[in-house]
């Protein structure tokens, strides 16, 4: 279409608006004079006509800006990652020093009774149990001399090694005496069990196949523990000795002496040392294997029956005087003692404290637990730097709580329960059930503001 322009009636072809701007044309643009498009035309053309050099420059600037943005993002990511790594390294250093104490207790909530699961399979009271480091399996043993491997998720029995009767030792593959203790290696390759007949049995944890039998103790084997990250096994006995074994080599290594009475419990972590409780000699001892030395601690007024390491430098013990003690390897006396931790029983004026039969620690945290026969498992919070013990809450579990273990993740606590104490028949609680209680440990939802 041709229109008359202002310059001498020359005919000028009207420029067709760019389709890109069709939507931007308002009704006002229609009333504007025909001169306006002519004035804007060079600007529009100038804006979209770009020389090759200008295009190269523009793209180069864009590329530089993009590189800058990527580098800034990378720097932020590296800072975040280095903070994470630094945090992890700091935790590892604290863990190696034995000073790591993750604050978990403040977030724990009492479980609902309906969430607690009972697994039954043993005919007689449970005496001991262990949980594999991946939290998938539990091994339990009882006075009926049997061993059961459980699947945690389904609660099903995966394997059962039956106990044998007295007099069948020569032909029975397994225990014929009450099993008092057990341990599983950190890689879940080996399971070790110890009994009243002075024997230690080594099993393949995956298949429950019998591998070796260790003899040498002159009394019932009362404590077993694998050194973490290795197949070195420590054993303790009523013969007052601690023995060291190499399970890979099927070999005895050495014997350590020092306790003045039957050893009742033993534990170790990753250092080349273990901790034991000496029953009626009322001592706790830390054995430095490589240095061939020992540290001796005193604090309980009764027989010290159970021990568990919280980290490499702190531990919890329980005794038949009803007390629970918190210790540091750097102090000869307890950091904290709770007397009558599970209350008393008996007639008025003749009350006796409930014996503390088992203790457990959620490793490298501030949470520990104790068990007795007052039908309650008690959870405790360790104060800052392990300077005290405060009760958190108790969980109803009827019977003798003969063994307690926290899962590695801290998501559940397992109690091995029986109608009788694991070491004798002083009392009997008929209404109790011989079994394994899996107690979930709920936690408060994290506060978004605190994060």
**Domains annotated on the chain, with CATH:** 117-440 (2.130.10.10)
Cα 360 from Cα 362, distance rounded (Å): 7
Q: What is the pLDDT of residue 422?
A: 65
**Does the structure show a pLDDT above 60 at 16?**
no
Cβ-contact 284, 274 below 8 angstroms? no
Q: What is the pLDDT of residue 100?
A: 75
H or E, element range at 69: helix 52-97
Residue that has been written with the tokens 């001399």 in this structure = 145
Q: What is the pLDDT of residue 241?
A: 95
Q: Rounded to an integer, what is the distance from CA 179 to the centroid of its chain?
A: 26
| CA atoms within 13 Å, Cβ hemisphere of 334 | 23
Query: Among candidates 179, 250, 172, which has minimal Cα distance to 220?
Result: 179
- Give per-residue pLDDT as tens, 362-405: 999 999 999 998 889 999 999 988 889 999 999 999 998 999 99
- Give per-residue pLDDT as tens, 207-217: 999 999 999 99
Rg (CA), the chain: 36
Higher pLDDT, 118 or 93: 118
In sequence order, the 6+-apart residues with CB closer than 8 A to the CB of 213 are 199, 200, 201, 202
- Reported pTM: 0.77
Query: Among candidates 251, 399, 265, which has minimal Cα distance to 320?
Result: 265
Report which DSSP code applies to 15: P
Q: What are phi and psi of 416, to 5 degrees?
A: -95, 120
**Does the structure show a pLDDT above 80 at 92?**
no
Query: Among candidates 449, 308, 437, 448, which has minimal Cα distance to 369?
Result: 308
**Does the structure show a pLDDT above 70 at 450?**
no
Q: What is the pLDDT of residue 20?
A: 44
Report which DSSP code applies to 24: G
Report which DSSP code applies to 383: P
Report which DSSP code applies to 43: H
With bands split at pLDDT 50, 70 and 90, how would you rate the model's confidence at 38?
very low
Q: What is the pLDDT of residue 451?
A: 46
Cα 111 from Cα 108, distance rounded (Å): 9
**Percent of the chain surpassing pLDDT 70:** 82
Name which of 29-43, 160-174, 420-434 the model is least confident about.
29-43
**Does the structure show a pLDDT above 70 at 443?**
yes
Query: Among candidates 183, 178, 212, 184, which has minimal Cα distance to 198?
Result: 178
Mean pLDDT score, 349-353? 85
Is the backbone of residue 9 left (phi > 0), alpha (psi -120 to 50) or beta? left
With bands split at pLDDT 50, 70 and 90, how would you rate the model's confidence at 95?
low
Higher pLDDT, 80 or 416: 416
Cα 305 from Cα 238, distance rounded (Å): 12
In sequence order, the 6+-apart residues with CB closer than 8 A to the CB of 419 are 125, 399, 400, 428, 429, 430, 432, 433, 434
Cα 304 from Cα 319, distance rounded (Å): 4
Which residues are paired to 361 by β-bridges? 368
H or E, element range at 90: helix 52-97
Mean pLDDT score, 18-26? 44
Residues across the chain: 451
Q: What is the pLDDT of residue 259?
A: 93
Cα 132 from Cα 185, distance rounded (Å): 8
- Give per-residue pLDDT as tens, 45-81: 455 577 888 888 888 888 888 888 888 888 877 777 6
With bands split at pLDDT 50, 70 and 90, how would you rate the model's confidence at 424?
low
Q: What is the pLDDT of residue 331?
A: 92
- Give per-residue pLDDT as tens, 302-347: 899 999 999 999 999 999 899 999 999 999 999 999 999 998 888 7
Which residues are paired to 147 by β-bridges? 141, 161
Q: What are phi and psi of 264, to 5 degrees?
A: -110, -20
Residue ranges of alpha helices (H) inside 200-344 are: none
Q: What is the pLDDT of residue 432?
A: 76
For the chain, the average pLDDT equals 85
């Amino acid at each position: 279409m041709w229109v008359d322009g202002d310059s001498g009636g020359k005919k000028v072809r009207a420029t067709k608006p760019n389709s890109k701007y069709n939507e931007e044309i308002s009704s006002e643009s229609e009333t504007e004079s025909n001169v306006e498009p002519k004035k804007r035309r060079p600007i529009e053309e100038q804006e979209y006509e770009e020389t090759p050099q200008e295009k190269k420059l523009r793209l180069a600037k864009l590329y530089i800006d993009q590189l800058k943005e990527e580098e800034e993002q990378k720097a932020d990511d590296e800072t975040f990652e280095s903070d994470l790594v630094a945090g992890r390294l700091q935790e590892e250093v604290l863990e190696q020093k034995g000073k790591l104490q993750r604050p978990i207790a403040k977030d724990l909530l009492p479980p609902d009774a309906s969430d607690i699961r009972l697994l039954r399979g043993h005919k007689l009271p449970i005496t001991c149990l262990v949980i594999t480091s991946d939290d998938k399996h539990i091994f339990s043993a009882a006075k009926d001399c049997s061993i059961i491997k459980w699947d945690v998720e389904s609660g099903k029995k995966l394997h059962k090694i039956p106990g044998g009767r007295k007099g069948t030792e020569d032909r029975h593959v397994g225990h014929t005496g009450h099993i008092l203790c057990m341990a599983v290696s950190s890689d879940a390759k080996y399971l070790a069990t110890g009994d009243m007949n002075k024997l230690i049995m080594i099993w393949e944890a995956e298949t429950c196949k019998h591998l070796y039998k260790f003899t040498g103790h002159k009394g019932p084997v009362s404590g077993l523990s694998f050194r973490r990250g290795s197949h070195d096994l420590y054993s303790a006995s009523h013969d007052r000795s601690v023995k060291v074994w190499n399970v890979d080599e099927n070999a005895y290594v050495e014997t350590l002496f020092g306790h003045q009475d039957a050893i009742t419990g033993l534990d170790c972590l990753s250092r080349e040392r273990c901790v034991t409780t000496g029953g009626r000699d009322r001592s706790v001892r830390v054995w430095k294997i490589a240095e061939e030395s020992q540290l001796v601690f005193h604090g309980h007024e009764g027989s010290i029956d159970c021990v568990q390491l919280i980290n490499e430098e702190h531990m919890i013990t329980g005794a038949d005087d009803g007390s629970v003690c918190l210790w540091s390897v750097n102090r000869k006396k307890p950091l904290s003692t709770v007397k009558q931790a599970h209350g008393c029983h008996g007639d008025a004026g003749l009350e006796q404290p409930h014996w503390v039969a088992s203790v457990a620690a959620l490793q490298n945290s501030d949470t520990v637990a104790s068990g007795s026969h007052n039908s309650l498992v008690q959870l405790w919070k360790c104060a800052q730097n392990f300077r005290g013990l405060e009760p958190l809450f108790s969980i109803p579990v009827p019977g003798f709580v003969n063994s307690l273990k926290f899962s590695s993740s801290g998501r559940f606590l397992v109690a091995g329960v029986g109608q009788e104490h694991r070491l004798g028949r002083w009392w009997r609680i008929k209404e109790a059930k011989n079994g394994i209680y899996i107690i979930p440990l709920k936690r408060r939802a994290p506060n978004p503001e605190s994060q």
